[in-house]
Amino acid sequence: MIILQKIGLGLVVTGIVLFTYLLTQGRYTVTEDALGVASSFHQESILDKAREAGVLNHTYHSSAAFLSDYKGVITAAQADLASSPVPDGIAEWDYKIGDWKVKEYLQSASRSCLSGPVKENPLKWLLLTIGLAILGGLLYILPAFSKIPGIKHDGIYHSSMKRGLKLPQRSFFLLATVIGVLWYGITYMSGQWFHSLHTLLIGALVVYLVYFRGEKTAAAPRSASPSAVAWLGIVTGTYLIGFYILLYWFPQYISPWIEMVDPVSRSISGNPASQWFLYGFLYTIIMLVMGVRMIAKYRHNRYQIIRTLSVVFFQTAFAFLLPEILARLNQPYYDFKNIWPLNYTFFFDWNLSTLMSSGGLGIFMLVWGIALVLIGVPVITYFYGKRWYCSWVCGCGGLAETLGDPYRQLSDKSLKAWKIERYTIHAVLVFAVVMTIGVLYTYFSGSSRLLFLDSNNLRTWYGFLIGSAFAGVVGTGFYPLMGNRMWCRFGCPLAAYLGLVQKFKSRFRITVNGGQCISCGNCSTYCEMGIDVRHYAQRGQDVVRSSCVGCGVCAAVCPRGVLRLENGSVDIDTRTEPLRTIHIRSDEVGIL
């Protein structure tokens, strides 16, 4: 590693440490005009209680202390208003403080009461944290352009960051996550425990179907690593998981971060930053920097270069900038490339209402979104396979292909993993469809009951379990633990839909080059979707798998030029029939 790279790495670490440290640098003071509460009844009552509790004008040095005291104040105000009579001419729900309002007030106060270094000079801190990390990242990455082009995988399994976890550690993280999510899910659903229970039962059913049914494939599970422990990977994974938990469920604790990107948000959309702006901003920056890395690594491979440019472009332009600009123009916030059911809120009442009340552009967005689902997906997938979306356009896929690339080898290739995948991804698709039907039913009929389901609860649970916990916490947090496409492979309902088209009617396949395969295993190892590519390659059978996202890395890493992604219609229904390494055809020999 040359000295420049060491410095770069040092800067990245410094940037991240400072970034984390910022969370401890918030100062919070409750003052009369910094509550961020719209309703005057609420404002008054909260101020009263704050005064009583001695919270008013007190400066806190930790977000935890501030939030706990302030929560006490709001709940006291809530109780107070609940027991006092509603004044005439005011609706009850406007007068009282609903439970969900408590959350909202906490979050807005965490922004409006904030002072301290970030508030005073957000741009300085932006440069010192994210800026430093970008600089360091580039210093680390750019020297790779001077290397001889070719596969750069030396030492991956010697790296504490990339070698992945052993089975017990992996199980620990999985179990802890499942328990944590289901447990917190009870609180999230305001004490309703049966959502967690149903989910647990479905999970148990999958485990039963995969592990305890049918023929016994008894063998020691494949350990994910040689002897050493991937400490750096574990630390990184834990950090990412923590980040997502804060982002989704405790945004009131990260107001210094949000404050830091506030000027950026204002300059683009004119609006103050939210946690989602922070997320989109970081997401895009990370994809840009790690996209440079991807291009440096694969600079001999134009497929990889063009594909990387494509995902980075779609993230930057379509997912990040365009919606913000639309917001500036008072148009609906809309990501033109996000497709239902990945975009599960598309058919939610508020989205439909916004689109329908936003004139021609809104209607266009509505039609566009539906057309993508009904026509775009099947037609384009017929021509090019699901890769057109998953590894060329999609934001989740884009992050996986850039930030996640160093971890692609950690996907589990066992037959069991494939079995689990087929159950879970289709289960999520079913869940998304049922949830959406419920939501639409409610939208048209006005009743939230559909058979035995409550569509409001259903969609909240979907958002929590699939939208946040699976796609975010597991989807990205598990990159260094179990590979970069956990979400895409086991959870994404859109991937399931695209995959069905790819499997049953598409010109796409990975062609195997005659008998050239030496069964080395590079293709399988570096398949982020956990496809055992070698299984097909060594028998000379074209690879047609619903999960294949067409990233093209198997073809890139193959040392014998065996694999090629291609499209052809001539043999569309017999793509997998020829077995090109079979040397002796049984019809020639005439088997007994």
Partner 1 sequence: MHTVIIGNGVSGITAARTLRKLSDQRITVISYETEHFFSRTALMYVYMGHMRFEDIKPYEDWFWEKNKIDLIKDRVTSIDFESKSLRLDATGELSYDSLILALGSKGNRFGWPGQDLQGVSGLYHVQDLERMEQHSPGLERAVVVGGGLIGIEMAEMFASRDIDVTFLVRETNYWNNVLPEEESQMISDHIREHHFDLRLGVNLGEIIDNGQGQVGGVVIKESGEKIPCGFVGLTPGVSPNIGWLKEGPLETNRGILVNAHLETNQPDVYAIGDCAEITEPRPGRRPIEAVWYTGRMMGETVAHTLAGNRTAYDPGIWFNSAKFLDIEYQVYGDVPARPGEEIGQYFWKGPDGRKSFRILFHKEHGHVTGFNLLGIRFRHEVCEKWLRDQTPVDQVMSNLALANFDPEFYRMHEEEIVAGYNAALGRQVRHRAKRNLNHVLKFLKSK
| Residues near ligand SF4 (CB under 6 A) | 517-523, 533-534, 537, 558, 560, 562-563
Return the residue of 95, 157, 313, 318 that touches partner 1, per CB under 8 A.
157
Asked if 383 is part of the footprint of partner 1 (rule: CB under 8 A), the reply reads no
Asked if 166 is part of the footprint of partner 1 (rule: CB under 8 A), the reply reads no
Residue 6 Cβ vs partner 1, minimum distance, rounded to whole Å? 15
Return the residue of 46, 156, 394, 486 that touches partner 1, per CB under 8 A.
156
Spatial neighbors of 465 by CB under 8 A, at least 6 apart, are 181, 185, 195, 199
Asked if 3 is part of the footprint of partner 1 (rule: CB under 8 A), the reply reads no
Find, among 63, 73, 90, 65, the residue nearest to 35 by Cα: 73
CA–CA distance from 284 to each of 248, 316, 319 (Å)?
A: 18, 6, 9
- CB of 84 or CB of 217, closer to partner 1: 217
Tell me, what DSSP letter sits at residue 30? B
Q: Which stretch binds partner 1 (CB under 8 A): 63-71, 245-253, 270-278, 568-576?
A: 568-576
DSSP assignments along 180-198, one per residue: HHHHHHHHHTTT--HHHHH
Asked if 150 is part of the footprint of partner 1 (rule: CB under 8 A), the reply reads yes
226 binds, among ligand SF4, partner 1, none (CB under 5 to 8 A by kind): partner 1
533 binds, among partner 1, ligand SF4, none (CB under 5 to 8 A by kind): ligand SF4
Residue 318 Cβ vs partner 1, minimum distance, rounded to whole Å? 22
CA–CA distance from 96 to each of 11, 406, 515 (Å)?
A: 50, 51, 74
- CB of 101 or CB of 153, closer to ligand SF4: 153
Tokens representing 546 are: 């619903």
Asked if 313 is part of the footprint of partner 1 (rule: CB under 8 A), the reply reads no
Report which secondary-structure segment, H or E, holds 63: helix 63-83
Spatial neighbors of 419 by CB under 8 A, at least 6 apart, are 209, 210
CA–CA distance from 538 to each of 150, 520, 560, 580 (Å)?
A: 23, 9, 12, 9
**Footprint of partner 1 on 520-549 (CB under 8 A):** 520-522, 524-525, 534-535, 538
* 189 phi, psi to nearest 5 deg: -90, 30
Q: Which stretch binds partner 1 (CB under 8 A): 51-59, 142-150, 424-432, 435-443?
A: 142-150
Amino acid 149 reads: P
Asked if 564 is part of the footprint of partner 1 (rule: CB under 8 A), the reply reads yes
Decide if 554 contacts 563 (C-beta within 8 A): yes
Determine whether 252 is exposed, middle or buried from the number of CB atoms within 10 Å of its CB (0-12, 13-18, 19+): buried
Cis peptide before 578 (omega within 30 of 0): no
- CB of 471 or CB of 563, closer to ligand SF4: 563
Amino acid 255 reads: S
Q: Which stretch binds partner 1 (CB under 8 A): 13-21, 231-239, 337-345, 580-588?
A: 580-588
Tokens representing 147 are: 């290397």
Asked if 569 is part of the footprint of partner 1 (rule: CB under 8 A), the reply reads yes
**Footprint of partner 1 on 288-307 (CB under 8 A):** 300-303, 306
CA–CA distance from 193 to each of 190, 458, 470, 574 (Å)?
A: 9, 13, 19, 49
Amino acid 185 reads: G
**How many residues in the shown chain lie near partner 1 by CB under 8 A?**
66
- CB of 224 or CB of 555, closer to ligand SF4: 555
Q: Where do contacts with partner 1 occur on this chain (CB under 8 A)?
A: 148-151, 153-159, 215, 217-220, 222-223, 225-226, 300-303, 306, 409, 414-415, 511, 513-516, 518-522, 524-525, 534-535, 538, 552, 555-556, 559-561, 564-571, 580-584, 589-592
